[in-house]
Amino acid sequence: FQKSSEHALFSNSVVDVFTQLTQCFDVVSKLECPDPEIWKRYMRRFAKTIVKVLIAYADIVKMEFPEHMRDERIACILMNNIQQLRVQLEKMFESMGGDKLEEDAANILKELQQNLNSALDDLASLFAISLEPRITQSVRELGDMLLSIKGGSGNLTAGNQAIQRNAVAVEADDVLRPLMDLLDGSLTLYAQSCEKTVLKRLLKELWKIVMRILEKTIVLPPMTDKTMMFKHLTDNAKNLASNAKIEDMGRLFKSHMAGKQDVKSALSGVMDISKEVEKNLSPKQCAVLDVALDTIKQYFHAGGNGLKKTFLEKSAELQSLRYALSLYTQMTDTLIKTFISSQVHEGYKK
């Protein structure tokens, strides 16, 4: 995996592969075939040869990749190699005629480009997943620091709101330190070792993982029997949220509260779950975490050099985390009101 030059981010093997392919194409080109149909057959055959060579190379990289993930620099070089295959393939496509290339040969190379793109996605995902234990540990440290923050909603609604906002921002920076220390060290290395396209893919995978671990480790309550029911409720609520009807929510509560004797005991169950959730994060801790999420989002955006704001804001992982976080303040009021409304509606139907 020796680099092809001091400043190159990919290895000699990629250079060697395309040196051989270019030489082969030069030989074919010098044949100066006068028959267009025969030339098209040459191009189709050569395109299939390119596929065999590059797919074999990509398969070798994918097979050996797990062995090299511990050495992050080598892992980055291997991902860069696949990206460089894509770059050089595009150049080869242009040298073969580009848009004027025979349709079948062009389609063969376009499909190959898609396969290499998928291979790069797979490597980036695999590499990001290998970082999960370290991310989980840093998020647990973040969670411990967050839970040590005292104060409730009263502190946030006092007259000195500006001071309170500043205090929350400072506390958000403090609790983020374990995660940011990890990300700073890792992403600095990746920025130095990865081609830009590879880095963007890694950032996307890491963003998704960080959001999922934050939700699972800090926001979601422990999975006791009651909170497991709460998880089922919230999962179903997400599916119903876009076009929910009161009778839908009524059925949702009924199906997950089987065995309750009456409405009073059902409401008691909802309140029990609500109390369990409220034990985990106070309103102030939720506010601190919300500010921390904005900071993480800005970090991954990197002033325009990282991921696009639209991708970050619309990502399913962030939406899910924010939805779960919002339930801390909505749990008692919203769920109980929805339950009561559903019962009233059922009464009218009868």
Question: Where residue 271 sits, what CATH number does that domain have?
Answer: 1.20.58.1100
* Residues 164 and 297 grouped into a single domain: yes
Instruction: Tell me which residue range forms the domain holding 36.
Output: 12-130
Q: What would the mean pLDDT of 91-109 be, rounded to a whole number?
A: 93
Looking at 130, 155, 180, the residue that finishes a domain is 130
* Residues 293 and 147 grouped into a single domain: yes
* Residues 189 and 304 grouped into a single domain: yes
- Give me 327's structure tokens: 């339930």
* Residues 330 and 183 grouped into a single domain: yes
- Count structural domains, the chain: 2
Name the percent of the chain lying above pLDDT 90.
55
For the domain that residue 46 is a member of, what is the CATH number? 1.10.357.50
* Residues 163 and 76 grouped into a single domain: no
Cα–Cα nearest to 108, from 29, 40, 44: 44
* Residues 196 and 104 grouped into a single domain: no
Q: What would the mean pLDDT of 187-192 be, rounded to a whole number?
A: 91
Which segment of 38-47, 61-70, 257-266, 307-316 scores lowest on mean pLDDT?
Answer: 257-266
* Residues 319 and 218 grouped into a single domain: yes
Identify whether 121 is part of a domain: yes
Looking at 130, 164, 181, the residue that finishes a domain is 130
Q: Count of CB atoms within 10 A of residue 258's CB?
A: 6
Looking at 130, 164, 183, the residue that finishes a domain is 130
* Residues 156 and 254 grouped into a single domain: yes
Length of the chain: 350
The answer, as to whether pTM is greater than 0.85, is: no
* Residues 136 and 102 grouped into a single domain: no
* Residues 86 and 139 grouped into a single domain: no
Helix (H) or strand (E) holding 302: none
pLDDT in tens, 314-324: 999 999 999 88
User: In whole numbers, what is the pLDDT of the chain averaged over residues?
Assistant: 81
Beta pairing partners, 3: 11
Per-residue confidence at 75, pLDDT binned at 50, 70, 90? very high
**What DSSP string runs through 233-271?**
HHHHHHHHTTT--HHHHHHHHHHHSTT--SHHHHHHHHH
Per-residue confidence at 244, pLDDT binned at 50, 70, 90? very low
